[in-house]
Amino acid sequence: MKKNITLLLLTAAFSLAFGQIKPDWLDEDFRRMKFPENVYFTGFAYGEVAAGKPLQEVTQQIKTEAQADLSRKIRVQITSRSQSEIAAVSAGGQYRESESFSNRSATESSAEVVGAKTESYYDAKTRLVYALAVANRYELLGYYKSNLTMNLTQIESLLQTAKNLETGGEKAKARQQCEAAKALLDNVRYAQSLLTAIDSNLPDSDLQQTKTEHLYSALTQMQARLAQGVYIYVESSEDVFGQKATIIANKLKADLANNGCSFVENAADADFQLKINGSTRLFSNENGFVFCYADVVVELYDNHKQKVVYSDEIAQKGGSNSQEKAGRKAMENVVSQIIEKIKKWINI
């Protein structure tokens, strides 16, 4: 009984490995008839299972190649359609629309076709694996129309949030919302490109190009407004011969404000975080005139790059008729050096 069960299991395994029914789609003519180009996109690939290579691994590789072939055919149509549109629009002198088409065609290289179905077949005699990827044009139309609407809705929401933040003075956070909206525009451009490639007669109500251009214009204008001025968070620790002070911080903010910078109370809302650690030391006292040095450690952190872009130690002398006044003067004098050092990083 045990031998019979073992034999049955071996027979089943043999059938799975070698008894696959040869599919009709291996024939090119059949593929053309079964999956006409006006209804389907198809991708086809095949490859040999080399000695020592697992069948499952090779099969997955060939299926991936078939999917890539399908994507490539769609991208060819997108590029061809976009180029013809660019030429037609450019000839009419509508440069804004021409730029729009260029942006759409530029996103096609990152295309990933959703909803493609992939089948594979292994021929044990020839040790070849075949794969076919198929995507229904009308299913793609439905998916990307929905995808387009979803992304545009998200962009509207992000822009509204950015507007509210801008009104409330939280411009750094508003910029983040704009960056997120800008990234979603790539998805919108690709969806429009794919929809146009599938059906060149789709109306604006499906492509939503008018709405897209309106949102693009609003985003561009908002980013231009938010780009005016740099937002800095200042963290200062200053000691003038044992007395806590904010001499450097106060003068630094005043001078930077004259150069278009603004200051925030929360480090997360800033473009840059500026840390200052300063102390004073006596240098000389001659005939009632005192010279002191301000020793300052400066660190500038770029919130967008997520790294320290500038760090240094600066020493600056100041003189007056008392030690405290000389120390304070040195603190004031060091500000111009700090600004000179950091201005190339904060673009002022």
**How would DSSP label each residue in 46-76?**
EEE--TT--HHHHHHHHHHHHHHHHHHHHHH
Would you state the pLDDT for residue 95? 38
CA-CA distance, 293 to 67, in Å (whole number)? 69
DSSP letters of 198-215?
H-TT--HHHH-HHHHHHH
Predicted confidence at residue 86, as pLDDT, reads 46
The pLDDT assigned to 49 comes to: 94
- Where do you find CATH 3.10.129 in the chain? 2-136
Question: What is residue 20's predicted lDDT score, i.e. its pLDDT?
Answer: 64
Q: pLDDT by residue for the chain (348 residues), tens digit each?
A: 444 444 444 444 444 444 468 999 999 999 999 999 889 999 999 999 998 899 999 999 999 999 999 988 887 766 665 555 545 444 444 434 434 444 444 344 444 567 789 999 999 999 999 999 999 988 888 988 999 999 999 999 999 999 998 777 677 778 889 989 999 998 898 888 888 878 878 888 899 999 999 999 999 999 888 877 788 999 999 999 999 999 999 999 999 888 878 888 888 878 899 999 999 999 999 888 999 999 999 999 998 888 999 999 999 999 999 999 999 999 999 999 999 999 888 876
Question: H/E element holding 336?
Answer: helix 323-346
Strands 230-240 and 272-286 turn out to be parallel
Amino acid at 25: W
Per-residue pLDDT at 5: 44
Span(s) in the chain for CATH 1.20.58: 139-226
pLDDT confidence of residue 21: 85
CATH T-level topology, domain 139-226: Methane Monooxygenase Hydroxylase; Chain G, domain 1 (1.20.58)
pTM of the model: 0.53
Residues of the chain with CATH 3.40.50.10610: 230-346
Task: Tell the CATH topology of 2-136.
Answer: Thiol Ester Dehydrase; Chain A (3.10.129)
Separation of alpha carbons 134 and 118, rounded Å:
6
Give the 3-state secondary structure of residue 20. coil
Q: Rounding to the nearest 10 degrees, give the CA dihedral for residues 218, 219, 220, 225.
A: 90
Q: What is the topology classification, in CATH, of domain 230-346?
A: Rossmann fold (3.40.50)
